[in-house]
Amino acid sequence: MKQSDICIIGGGIVGAATALKLIQAFPKKRIVLMEKENQPARHQTGRNSGVIHAGVYYQPGSLKAQYCREGLQRTIAYCKQFDLPYEQCGKLLVATNDAEMERMQSLFQRCQENELRPEMLDANQLKKREPNITGLGAFWVEDTGIVDYIKLTAHMLAQFKAKGGEVLYSHQVTALAENESGVTITAAQKSGSQDAVSQRVYQSQFLVNCSGLQSDRLATMMGLDIDFEIIPFRGEYYLLAEKHNQVVNHLIYPIPDPELPFLGVHLTKMIDGTVTVGPNAVLAMGREAYRKTDVDLADIAQMMRFSGIWPMLRKNLKSGLNEMKNSVFKSGYLSLVQKYCPSIRKEDLLPYRSGIRAQAVSKNGELIHDFKFVSSARSLHVGNAPSPAATSAMPIADAIYDRCLALM
């Protein structure tokens, strides 16, 4: 049986940042990272908007507000240090009606409380900065940037390996058992072109669970009695036709619904020079159900048994149905972006990959807004790490290190 001091589950950006932090802190320990796919960042990290958030939206004092602000600086510093591509292109939040103008005022204030320096623009000033964008007003946040999170994750894992860490790809953790000396980890290892599967058993003194969409399941496997479940929300994108690559100079966001942890369909300059539109937020029919037609019956059955799902659906019925309608009818989706960018036409929206957010929901149906950790004597679990967790990965890794120190 293979032994390690610390085993990290999950090769997304949170797992990678954690692996790097822990090998730097404990250079003599045997640290292993297990990932079920054959390469890093195949789920949330590799399917997101690629934005380094500045921390506009988050409740002041929350973990999201703290870690996002620090994460922005550290992500940029890391990219500078290792010459990875990033751009601090700034973002505009655009209000297109009176209700949004009012909500924009409170968001502007929140932004100031979060120690950012937003700048208010009237309709003319907005037009000057962004000739293709129309709105009654907007505010400007210069700190926001863009990056390639797949490259960043792969780079962190390469650093981890260079410092003596081990990465085991194609290892899907299927069982966990805590005992006095640590955790017994059973993993199904896929190998060869036929995808032959063999069972492997590992022993680790400590386990860190960074498995994103599966994090609640791994915590439950460890025997933890958790009071939330991960609910998958698909975010569908379109790619703008190439002729629109210069349509905006900055990232363009709508004013979001303050009740929901989703930011609304935005125009995002990607680090490769393309522009995406999205993502929306529809309940996914499976945790990895990336296509509209994908259905995972086991995932749905679990979701339907979860007590939190019904109050959550009731509470968000109107917005949920709207999102579904706009997902089915491209014209509905188009209207969301035309509100602030009227020159985009239906034929400009080209197919693009979707992503699925791992959103923790409490047993009484509340969407859990902040990052959340749960632990046992021998393990620590990242229970909720939705956006802006890619931006915040390095401070999250520091928090994991602090909690590990207290537990180990």
Ligand X SMILES: Cc1cc2nc3c(=O)[nH]c(=O)nc-3n(C[C@H](O)[C@H](O)[C@H](O)COP(=O)(O)OP(=O)(O)OC[C@H]3O[C@@H](n4cnc5c(N)ncnc54)[C@H](O)[C@@H]3O)c2cc1C
Note the residues at the interface with ligand X (CB under 6 A).
9-15, 34-37, 41-45, 47-51, 53, 172-173, 210-214, 235, 279, 355-357, 385-391
Measured from the CB of residue 214, what is the shortest distance to ligand X in angstroms? 4
Q: How far is CA 174 from CA 38, 134, 186, 232, in A?
A: 16, 51, 6, 20
Residue number, 8 or 255, with CB nearest to ligand X:
8
Measured from the CB of residue 39, what is the shortest distance to ligand X in angstroms? 9
Measured from the CB of residue 326, what is the shortest distance to ligand X in angstroms? 15
Non-local CB neighbours of 217 within 8 Å, separated by 6+ positions: 211, 230
Residue number, 24 or 172, with CB nearest to ligand X:
172
175 token code pair: 């069982």
Measured from the CB of residue 218, what is the shortest distance to ligand X in angstroms? 6
Residue number, 176 or 334, with CB nearest to ligand X:
176
Residue number, 137 or 316, with CB nearest to ligand X:
316
Half-sphere exposure in the Cβ direction for 194 (13 Å, CA): 3
Measured from the CB of residue 212, what is the shortest distance to ligand X in angstroms? 3
Residue number, 88 or 134, with CB nearest to ligand X:
88
Residue number, 136 or 324, with CB nearest to ligand X:
324
- Per the CB < 8 A criterion, the answer to whether 108 and 116 are in contact is no
Residue closest to ligand X when measured from CB atoms: 12
Residue number, 121 or 221, with CB nearest to ligand X:
221
Measured from the CB of residue 204, what is the shortest distance to ligand X in angstroms? 13
Residue number, 316 or 384, with CB nearest to ligand X:
384
Measured from the CB of residue 125, what is the shortest distance to ligand X in angstroms? 26
- Per the CB < 8 A criterion, the answer to whether 352 and 46 are in contact is no
Measured from the CB of residue 178, what is the shortest distance to ligand X in angstroms? 16
Residue number, 146 or 255, with CB nearest to ligand X:
146
The backbone torsions φ and ψ at residue 142, rounded to the nearest 5 degrees and listed phi first, read -80, -20
Residue number, 43 or 74, with CB nearest to ligand X:
43
Measured from the CB of residue 12, what is the shortest distance to ligand X in angstroms? 2
Residue number, 137 or 187, with CB nearest to ligand X:
187
Measured from the CB of residue 121, what is the shortest distance to ligand X in angstroms? 23
Task: Find the angle CA(402)-CA(358)-CA(280) to the nearest 5 degrees.
Answer: 135
Measured from the CB of residue 285, what is the shortest distance to ligand X in angstroms? 16
- Per the CB < 8 A criterion, the answer to whether 190 and 173 are in contact is no
